Amino acid sequence: MQYDVIVIGSGPGGYVAAIRCAQLGLKTAVIEKYNTFGGTCLNVGCIPSKALLDSSEHYHNAAHSFEAHGISLSNLKVDIKKMIARKDDVINQNTAGITYLFKKNKVESFQGIGSFVDKNTIKITKDDGTSEQITGKNVIIATGSKPTYLPFLPVDKKRIITSTEALNLTEIPKHLIVIGGGVIGLELGSVYARLGSKVSVVEFAKSIIGTMDGGLGKELQRVLKKSVGMEFYTGHKVTGATSKGKTVTVTAENPKGEIISLEGDYCIVAVGRTAYTDNLGLENIGITVEERGKKNHSERSFRNNRPWCIRNWRRCQRCYASAQSRR
């Protein structure tokens, strides 16, 4: 089947591009590997984390601020299962909205993994192993990203987890250790800190949100310490993490070269994101990528071979840090 535009990925970059192309009169198709639209942002990223931030802030205000307003509450507690269910409902509302917009604008969708056969032909491999091919005059790569793992640190997704699993915990951690002082780790750390967890952030750089303005990182650290009691180990190099039963032990080297040890019941590994380029078949259109799949070897290769690439990650990173610094 021939299309004017094929979009691989239905996250905020992909679905907006697909809808706009269809509105401009182009025959458009979207390929999505999961069974819901919206990508990382709507399903396991921005939207669910903001939903939990909202819920946790309500609890924190009830526990620490209401009394000053003459509102007294007794037996205040968190129902984490109900909080997670509310988060899931927010996700469902958003993903259903994309489904509606696709139908309204006549965007055709395919579920499966899209990979290049050549610059105009995309193979779609479904969950059951069957496949089909479609062709397009233009192809937009909008496959997004996934959590980055540290090669020496095994993630069991039970006690040593990524941001994805942290959105679905069935209990509030007593002590949550966060490896990585970027926006993802800080956001989820602040959620559980507001719910009563002790939260320790271990960051290799000398300050949190190290890729941003130094003053912003300093102010954000001050706010998170003062408002929710988070503690920070900046300039610390993580050397390992182990899980035994319900205990996680994280070891790190401090600026003096000394080894410190932190024990908690959960550890989030939040050291960044890696681009989804696996199984895209980029080699079939003459594109090579760096080791972590983040960057093609030449911007010109995209123009010459016709696929377009959407980039929207860094813009999203700035939103949370800016919002928190204004609190």
Q: Is residue 155 part of a domain?
A: no
Total domains present in the chain = 2
Structure tokens at 270: 């939040």
The confidence score (pLDDT) of residue 35 equals 94
Query: What's the per-residue H, E or C state across the chain?
Result: CEEEEEEECCCHHHHHHHHHHHHCCCCEEEEECCCCCCHHHHHHCHHHHHHHHHHHHHHHHHHHCHHHHCCCCCCCCCCHHHHHHHHHHHHHHHHHHHHHHHHHCCCEEEECEEEEEECCEEEEECCCCCEEEEEEEEEEECCCEEECCCCCCCCCCCCEECHHHHCCCCCCCCEEEEECCCHHHHHHHHHHHHCCCEEEEEECCCCCCCCCCHHHHHHHHHHHHHHHCCEEEECCEEEEEEEECCEEEEEEECCCCCEEEEEECEEEECCCEEECCCCCCHHHHCCCECCCCCCECCHHHHHHHCCEECCCHHHHHHHHHHHHHCC
The confidence score (pLDDT) of residue 305 equals 53
Q: Are residue 251 and residue 287 in the same domain, yes or no?
A: no
Q: Are residue 225 and residue 247 in the same domain, yes or no?
A: yes
Instruction: State pTM to two decimals.
Output: 0.88
pLDDT in tens, the chain (327 residues): 899 999 999 999 999 999 999 999 999 999 999 999 999 999 999 999 999 999 999 999 999 999 999 999 999 999 999 999 999 999 999 999 999 999 999 999 999 999 999 999 999 999 999 999 999 999 999 999 999 999 999 999 999 999 999 999 999 999 999 999 999 999 999 999 999 999 999 999 999 999 899 999 999 999 999 999 999 999 999 999 999 999 999 999 999 999 999 999 999 999 999 999 999 999 999 888 776 555 554 444 455 555 788 753 334 334 434 444 444
CA nearest neighbour of 144 among 318, 320, 317, 313 = 313
Q: Is residue 154 part of a domain?
A: no
The confidence score (pLDDT) of residue 313 equals 32
**β-strand partners of 115:** 123
CATH code for position 225: 3.50.50.60
Q: Is residue 111 part of a domain?
A: yes
Q: Is residue 152 part of a domain?
A: no
The confidence score (pLDDT) of residue 228 equals 97
Q: Are residue 261 and residue 286 in the same domain, yes or no?
A: no
Q: Are residue 240 and residue 293 in the same domain, yes or no?
A: no
Q: Is residue 319 part of a domain?
A: yes
The confidence score (pLDDT) of residue 292 equals 58
Structure tokens at 176: 């949550």
* Boundaries of domain holding 45: 2-147+273-325
Q: Is residue 33 part of a domain?
A: yes
Q: Is residue 279 part of a domain?
A: yes
Q: Are residue 222 and residue 294 in the same domain, yes or no?
A: no
Q: Is residue 153 part of a domain?
A: no
Q: Are residue 100 and residue 236 in the same domain, yes or no?
A: no
Q: Are residue 23 and residue 133 in the same domain, yes or no?
A: yes
Q: Are residue 170 and residue 259 in the same domain, yes or no?
A: yes
